[in-house]
Amino acid sequence: MYTTTLTESLSPRGKLLLLRKYSENSLSHSPALSEKMYACTLCGRCEEACPSHTEIPVLIQSWREHNPYNETVLNPLVESIQKQGNPYNREQWERETWHISHDEDAGTVYFPGCTTSLFQPGVATSFMKIMEDRIPLFIMDDRCCGSILAKTGFREESERVIQDTVDFLSERGIKTVITSCAGCYSFFLEYPWNVTVLHTSQVLTRFLDELNPHPLQTTYHDPCHLIKTTVTSQPRQIVKTLSEYTEKSDQRCCGAGGGLLLNFRELADAICRSLLAQSSFQTMVTACPFCLYHMKRNTLRKILSLEELAASCLTE
């Protein structure tokens, strides 16, 4: 954030100072303060860099829960998730345009996520193509995981979404959930359920010996949510096996998460373009549809999901 804006109050240290002054009642709530606290992707890189590992994202998220920002943007988001099952105010039929046959009796759910279904359906169709005749899957594509609600301060609304999903899967006897979305994956790990949660990269590694690599020159972008949950080796194993891979020197946030793209699109785009400008690549591969969507919006260079790369290596 700071490297893009050069604004001290948007730096981790600046935000900590503002939070301290607010907690000491020496700084009152204001639209300007709220803007500073929402101008954050919650990526967690500041916590990694901090010598004392201060949990700045946790503090910011807690602040957001007590101080909602920009109701004209966020209230429609909540309403959309409650009515449409996604934060984009899109009808359910729009999510189903990519659907292919699935197994109604399967004990494993594939949860593509809102962004995959509505904006990057190639991620889902590629994964399902690979899983055909390998793992029976029931597609669960009628709801949001609730992560964006929690990240933008709507904890109670998020918990209702969580409970609805837990109840639904419990009634079906589902034991395993697979998702393409790094944000959904990270959030599902917080759910109060006895269900195995897998990211698609953890599944695709099982079938690498059945795929034919090709000479595509690639690098890999780590989604922040997968760094937090230590899913970093599996995506690299896939890309290294299926293409000519070069490690990217700078693994930074793409700028989309934490509600930043929703509330501050120009800032989110600037962060993304800065990241892409400093990366030399022919093809960038990533393991999150939201990162994929955001980077594709900000470059004409080739960006692929892990699922799309793997599907391109299937033998006919």
For 245-288, the pLDDT digits (tens) are 999 887 889 999 999 998 899 999 999 999 998 888 889 999 99
**Tens digit of each residue's pLDDT (9 = 90 or more) over 194-245:** 899 999 999 999 999 999 998 899 999 999 999 999 999 999 999 999 999 9
> Tens of pLDDT along 180-197?
999 999 999 999 988 999
What's the rounded Cα separation, in Å, for the pair 52 and 313? 44
**pLDDT of 4-27, one tens digit each?**
777 888 888 889 899 999 888 888
Q: Please classify residue 97 by burial: count the beta carbons closer than 10 Å to its beta carbon, then call 0-12 exposed, 13-18 middle and 19+ buried.
A: exposed
pLDDT tens digits for range 144-181: 999 999 999 999 999 999 999 999 999 988 999 999 99
pLDDT value for 133: 86
What is the DSSP code string of 134-194? Answer: TS--EE--SS--SHHHHHTT-HHHHHHHHHHHHHHHHHHT--EEEES-HHHHHHHTTSSS-
Alpha-carbon distance of 310 to 204, in angstroms, equals 8
Give the per-residue pLDDT at 294: 96
Position 70 scores a pLDDT of 64
Residue 189 neighbours by CB under 8 Å, 6+ apart: 197, 229
- Which domains does the chain possess? 2-67 (no CATH), 72-204 (3.40.50.1860), 207-311 (3.40.50)
pLDDT cut 70: percent of the chain above it: 98
Q: Please say whether the beta carbons of 35 and 17 come within 8 A.
A: no
pTM: 0.92
Taking only the tens place, the pLDDT of each residue in 107-147 is: 899 999 999 999 999 999 999 999 988 999 999 988 999 99
- Check whether 72 has a pLDDT greater than 70: no
